[in-house]
Amino acid sequence: MNKRVLITGSEGFTGHYLVKELESAGYEVIGLGSHASTSPGHVQADLIDSASLKAALAKIQPDVVVHLAALAFVGHGDPNQFYQVNLIGTRNLLEAVSASGKIPESVLLASSANVYGNQAEGILNEGTPPAPANDYAVSKLAMEYMARTWLSKLPIIFARPFNYTGVGQTENFLLPKIVSHFKRKAGSIELGNLDVSRDFSDVRAVVQAYRKLIEKQPIGETFNVASGKTHSLREVLLLCQDVTGHEIDVQVNPAFVRANEVKTLCGDTTKLRHCIGDWDTPELEETLRWMLN
């Protein structure tokens, strides 16, 4: 019998790719989200509504749970929502899984490399002390600490993805915004600090890492999911220019320069590779080419 996987946030950007990844590996996938959906096997339940979550989990009885659902846009207007969804919502989910009558083989929680905060330099590994610099990051770190209190009851694995992108990511994220401007041959673009450097992975590689983690079941462990390389926004602009042959006038909008901006984020993936074996993410140029075409 195929293993049944419950993916929360299955209708989101990452969820779409994880559904494909797991279905092609032979899993039966059930998606869960707060909105109605026409996708087969989709269950509507809100993370904030603990009664509807408990009813859903009691019915689904998954072998594996992957929790992607989160409020993820760092610039979101209402900071309280980060805590409601990312912390309380996750606790409601863990409680519902625990009360479902069936303990899954593994529960993968997607946290975020934002928990490391404004680390000045170097490559961050899982032992780097967290120093979250905004409400989103604090909510994710709080989620991790809260979830650890459930480790005696549930087989939880923690993933800390660094920035990743791909076709279908919304334009309030930086790379899709830049790609969209190049695709429509815009004359100019407004950006914030061009010298922030980020570790960018390809969403297709990220979901493959998630699949491998649920198969290896390293319970209680935390893993960076990253490329191990950084690119500044200046470099991203040049790569897009190389691929399209189009030049864009870049204007720095002070409103987009965040005071608590994390300058450099680069992930050490030694622990991840040691656990899941052969794994890599495409070069950023290849990912951008896919998005631009």
Q: Do the strands 197-198 and 231-232 form a parallel or antiparallel pair, or are they unpaired?
A: antiparallel
Supply the residues annotated as catalytic.
136
Q: SS3 of 81, please?
A: helix
Return the closest-CA partner of residue 208 out of 152, 149, 161, 163. Answer: 161
- H-only helix segments in 157-283: 174-183, 203-216, 233-244, 270-276
SS3 content of the chain, % helix, strand, coil (to 5): 40, 20, 45
Hey, what are 186's tokens? 């815009």
Instruction: Note whether 108 and 213 are within 8 A (CB).
Output: yes
Q: SS3 of 260, please?
A: coil
Q: What is the residue type of 208?
A: Q
